[in-house]
Structure 1
Amino acid sequence: MARPRRRWLIALSLASTCAITASACSSTSGGAAAGSQGDGKGTIEFWSMPFWIGQDDKVQQLVDQFNASQSDIKVNLTQLEWKDGREKIKQAMAAGQGPDVWLMNNGLELDYLKAGSLASLDQVGYTSADLAKFDDLIEVNEYQNKVYGAPLYFDATVMLYRTDVLEKYGYTKPPATWEELKATATAITQKSASDGSKISGWQFKGMDDHVNAINSTWESFLCQAGGNLTSPDYKKSTQNSEAGKATMDYMRSFYQDKTSPVGTSALNGFIDGKVAMFSFYQSVIANVEAGGAKTEGKWAVAPMPKGPESGCSMVGGHSLVANALGQETKAAGTFMKWLASPERSVQYMDFHAIFPYDPAKVTPEVKAEYDKKIKGDPNWTAILEQTERNTPDLVLQDRHGWSTRWEKQKSAIVAGVNGQNSVDEALSSIDEEVGKALDAGR
């Protein structure tokens, strides 16, 4: 997929819609009109999961730093857990008691967008010049030519490999294609079995103890085969395609010939030196580094092996969004512009979050810090190469029927890959369930 280089037009008004639930409906034109922009002063409520990986207290520290930096706005943080945080926000919004600002996946949730529950960034104070500083991947947060989420950082699925294991079995560089990946992984599994090391050459994350990860894994490999989640108009689920079948056949082959073991933790096995390679969002680096002596100097990052069509992968990360019905959207925007600023975003690179701005368009001070972090860690070369391969396309498709798709894929993809169901049964079941959700959403 070639990366689009267009920029959006900043429209002047929010589309006339109803709020996300009946309790928040308004007959006014534009969701934000039901709220009040305010005078830029006051108290705002910020609800967030601990997005700073490895330091759950860091978000509170950032909020405290903002509060101490000025006297017009006070931010109250409610820190939620990843396991149920999104659902608690939805419940609060349904009760008309939602926060002013909250954390949402890049790509945003379609229900909020269609309902007019989110204030567009221009409504909370972003100018066209502000928006032009972002990387083109900000298009994942567009809806009807307006931008509704300020990215804190992006994620991109990359490959991690044990340099010590590959070198032991005669490989001086990581595999660059699907064919090389399969051959290398199979050889390591077989050779290590013979010498008693018993190392799995590869593990697909999601076929292990972290089943939810099968979504980003599957969609990355589907992308490399040239597949799509939906039709161009987002009205039809299209995974039961030639690309979908080729992807599942490829993934299934790792388990058919015992190259990979279903159930073995990709991350823990990698840290322990019992899994040679796996793929996941680059932010998993923070977990690998926490392995200490088990991993220090023994691993590296590479771009994803290229499939039949490309080397693209799934894009993730998180953004800040504002409540269109909030009474202080101007103050909310001030806080969002601070927390999602280049100055803060370059700090998020400490846990290998991908900088969401064009480095050529930030201040010299931020650019110098960015360059220092890039030069200080060779893994950034691979991460940035992978980022350049990726487009917003898959994320924009994924937004349609998202919750149904992600739940169904966790069972259908695993069952198809491990041979419990046929490839056609697995992919057809996804298209059927997601198709119902797409029909219901129209």
Structure 2
Amino acid sequence: MRRGIAASALVAALAVSLAACGSSGSSSSTAGNGPVTITYWDTSNATNEAPTYMDLAKKFEAANPNIKVNFVNVPFDSAQNKLQTAMGSKGAPDVFRSEVGWTAAFAKAGYLTPLDGTPALADSAAFQPSLLKQASYQGKTYGVPLVTDTLGLLYNKALFAKAGITAAPTTWDELKADAATLKDKTGVDGFEMRAGDGYYAMPLLFGEGTDMVNTAAKKITINSPQAAAAVETYKSLFTAPGTVKADLTSDGYAHMMDAFTTGKVAAIINGPWEITNIYQGSAFTDKTNLGIAAVPAGSAGKPGAPTGGHNIAVYAGSDAAHQAASEKFAAFMTSATSQTEIAQKNSTLPTRSDAYTPALTADPGIAGFQAILPVAQPRPELPEYSSLFASIGTNLGKILQNQESTQAGLDSTAADYTKLLPGFGK
């Protein structure tokens, strides 16, 4: 899951123990026959999501009086580096919320314990197989899928209707045509795209039948003709009539979301993690005004979007007692009941079918994203995959500012990938 907004000052308030005597890191101890205290690093948004996870941790404690939870909220943007540092030295949490792209990398480094055959994966058959695959590395499962997400086309139904548009666009050319119509008929910008962020450009790559790399062939494909065509289409989404020019400022994401939630732009590409914020906007006091469709398709003829989300992972450096308690905690947090509660309060997508209750799917945001999950593409089993986004994001920014050509920018990215993936060819 990608986020463009920083965690608020509430992080400081949430970085406290649920237990009266919990300590930071996996060094928390058991006194005699007293309770085991496990440290859990939560990487969700402190304002909109963390309170739900904190409530669940309290419920877990109530159901398991011999286990206490030291709940620490860590800002998502800095969590990967903090986890890497902590697990490589000391102070690592016993259990934590891991972005799907981190799991394989941490497993490769030996930081995670396999969960196959443990209480954490007792309900493995209930989870979507593709999501369990994303939590795996070299045949072993190192995380329990907690929430999933993907990117979709989010649009303002009222503005589309005012412009006489009766259905969401299914191709990028249709999207550009609709953007022009929306601007002409309503005076509102038709479409805005997150600029200079490789994750948001993935639907363009998938739409041309390619990816940043071909893992099976061990080949770098980011500078292929298909990728160049994808980026040319991406560039056009910022310059076509009715589209918003590229906002590469540090507040670009916030500007896009403010424009959409207040009805100043009719459509964007984003994920389910923003649903609760969207519902708070003046343009969506009526939740049914939010339209959700699959991302448009490219020349390959099929839409495709990245699969994101988070797993619960257990630190391999904890002792047996803390690992056992952490496995129980992972099972509780990913149970059908817990996932339904998380989805109801945070508008995120469960990873198991039995969590999609009728009450949950009555939410148009949840139902809308559930419907487009089939076009989401799981990430390959490549520990370095999440690290690939940095270079492509930087070079997309340069391409959008005409500081380098499309091909030069992609060639520069490919050169960076060669350093990250020495076994891959071009």
Give the alignment's TM-score, normalised by structure 1.
Answer: 0.79
Which stretches in structure 1 are left out of the alignment for 5+ residues?
1-38, 360-365
The Cα of 1:253 is off from its aligned counterpart by 1.5
- Which residue in 2 is equivalent to 1:400? 384
SS of the aligned residue for 2:145 comes to: strand
- Which residue in 2 is equivalent to 1:316? 308
Alignment partner for residue 91 of structure 2, among 88, 92, 97? 97
Alignment partner for residue 283 of structure 2, among 268, 289, 294? 294
The reply to whether residue 378 of structure 1 matches residue 355 of structure 2 is no
- Which residue in 1 is equivalent to 2:126? 133
8 Å CA contact 2:395, 2:413 repeated in 1:
yes
- Which residue in 1 is equivalent to 2:395? 412
The Cα of 1:148 is off from its aligned counterpart by 0.7
- Which residue in 2 is equivalent to 1:222? 205
The Cα of 1:231 is off from its aligned counterpart by 2.1
Alpha-carbon separation, structure 2, partners of 1:55 and 1:112: 24
Alpha-carbon separation, structure 2, partners of 1:53 and 1:108: 23
Give the 3 Å change call, closer, same or farther, for CA 52–69 of structure 1 in structure 2.
farther
Alpha-carbon separation, structure 2, partners of 1:373 and 1:262: 36
- Which residue in 1 is equivalent to 2:271? 281
- Kindly report which structure 2 residues correspond to 1:22-421, keeping only aligned pairs within 5 A, or say none: 42-51=36-45, 54-122=48-116, 124-126=118-120, 130-138=123-131, 139-192=133-186, 197=187, 199-205=188-194, 207=195, 214-233=197-216, 235-258=218-241, 259-263=243-247, 265-291=255-281, 293-297=282-286, 298-309=289-300, 310-327=302-319, 328-350=322-344, 351-359=346-354, 370-374=357-361, 376-392=362-378, 395-396=379-380, 399-403=383-387, 405-421=388-404
RMSD, matched Cα: 2.5
The Cα of 1:398 is off from its aligned counterpart by 6.3
- Which residue in 1 is equivalent to 2:410? 427
Alpha-carbon separation, structure 2, partners of 1:115 and 1:229: 23
Residue type of the alignment partner of 1:372: A
Residue type of the alignment partner of 1:349: A
SS of the aligned residue for 1:108 comes to: helix
Which stretches in structure 2 are left out of the alignment for 5+ residues?
1-32
Structure 1 stretch displaced more, 76-85 or 336-345: 76-85
Give the 3 Å change call, closer, same or farther, for CA 55–378 of structure 1 in structure 2.
closer
Residue type of the alignment partner of 2:415: E
8 Å CA contact 2:96, 2:313 repeated in 1:
yes
Structure 1 stretch displaced more, 151-160 or 59-68: 59-68
Q: May I ask how many residue pairs the two structures share in their alignment?
A: 379
Alpha-carbon separation, structure 2, partners of 1:53 and 1:137: 30
8 Å CA contact 1:230, 1:397 repeated in 2:
no
The Cα of 1:79 is off from its aligned counterpart by 1.8
Give the 3 Å change call, closer, same or farther, for CA 356–257 of structure 1 in structure 2.
closer
Alpha-carbon separation, structure 2, partners of 1:358 and 1:307: 30
